[in-house]
Structure 1
């Protein structure tokens, strides 16, 4: 089971949008998902049209008149997708827990009771670095930090990283983190300038997937649904499907590396294939497909030649493969390959046979 906190003390960065739609996208992939709304503003709860008298407050508070467990408050919203809702009472927990010993372990202990019920637990944190956020980070193995491409986008990121480092050292709980570019408008040159600045500073801890600006994401929230349910084939939904894929395949990276090494040692007859893409305006291009678990890593990055073409030569065993290019965070088909096949996300994958 993986526990992932989604945090940023700066508001308006797409934190709750990411929590809701990532959870839904992972659930569509037949994974059991729990989203814990830890924000007193309850945006995830409200955005999924959940009405419940009980909330995560009743689980974490020692002053509540009705002490409950996570199982008692969980609400199912979609297939494989449950939510532990929040309410305004969560705002009082900061003061309630201020003098309590072990206050930073409250959520961790609550999750231990239901960890076998889920493949992924996502936590939507409040937009601050108080005790609730500390609880979320202590309970998590990884933190996703949504960052929109604006002038003030990195405000608070360094402070959040200090908290993560503090938890890793003082509580002996190492936590990984990655930044996620959200609300990206590819029509604006400014967006690319900020993106390049973020890449320069955090390249080793940055998702390849980029979440683009899309009106369907807002419409879905107003309708009380995830975008994956409300508009499955929209740009916003597809971005979160790609993010879900990146997270799920990364989880199995260690096992995948072992298996690939075993295959490499055993397979003797291999074929070579050159993938190419003409796009002189692109900043970076990756090739992802069945042959690399759809993982956009440095070893799958294309090289750019003087003519503006991007090229990558791979050695593959004979067979049929589905693949796509990831161009500046956007997944697209191979325009030079007419062979395509519809995928589960409502789009198409390019198809090649070796």
Structure 2
């Protein structure tokens, strides 16, 4: 057993120090994603004459980027070999909390937004607390339970009613421009850079990868596994609240059933981006490309009124492709 561990460790060191060749670089998963992205653009252009123009491509980001904020912490969670399927319900509860704070308790909209962010962070913190406090419980079961819980609380607060009447300036989050660039796109770029630096350039990011490789070894190596997981899950809740702000702004109101099945799209984007479901592997640049692949695919097919069921089949096929291809590659090496 020890010899196999040592052999694996040496193999990883050799891989890390192997000089990069042109073949090695262009066979990276991210390059395949670029080709898929180009293929999506070409297909959408052939299907609809309204797709390929700067205005259309620019404005489409305001339709699909809101859920992308959750993809980055979800990538961290998956790298740690965990999962969170409660993010869609966290979006719903956070937005309901914001609407209630504004319309029922009469708080200023700025304070209501803060309430939204706090509610989301607390939901993520509660997930992290349960998962770290009871490690024998699967993250799937824990977050399945909280998914039902958070959505249920949202329904208790608003029942099946919509809540809106937000101030006019609040619509800027979802539909506003800064020098001709959608505000949501600017925020997305900033958050993507922040999470990319956190994962790939900091000690915290190295801890995330180490936990994904082996959380027991990481613990005995001095990594505070519980604290790291707690922080990541809290970040997931916070980003779900950010999504709630942009989604409610774009819709002009909120309901307990918003962001339904968001967790599936988010996990699909992360997996398609090359984040390993086995943990310990992945790069956020691939995740960013995958966000735009899925986003423009949904937008382009929506222009020609493709049914949502067909969209689910296409995204499911892409996800299956993302999961199976690396396995085939590993089999060829073995």
* Superposition TM-score tier, normalisation by shorter sequence: under 0.3
* RCO higher in structure (CA 8 A, sep ≥6): 2
Of Structure 1 and Structure 2, which has the larger fraction of its residues in helix? 2
Of Structure 1 and Structure 2, which has the larger fraction of its residues in strand? 1
TM-score normalised by structure 1 residue count: 0.24
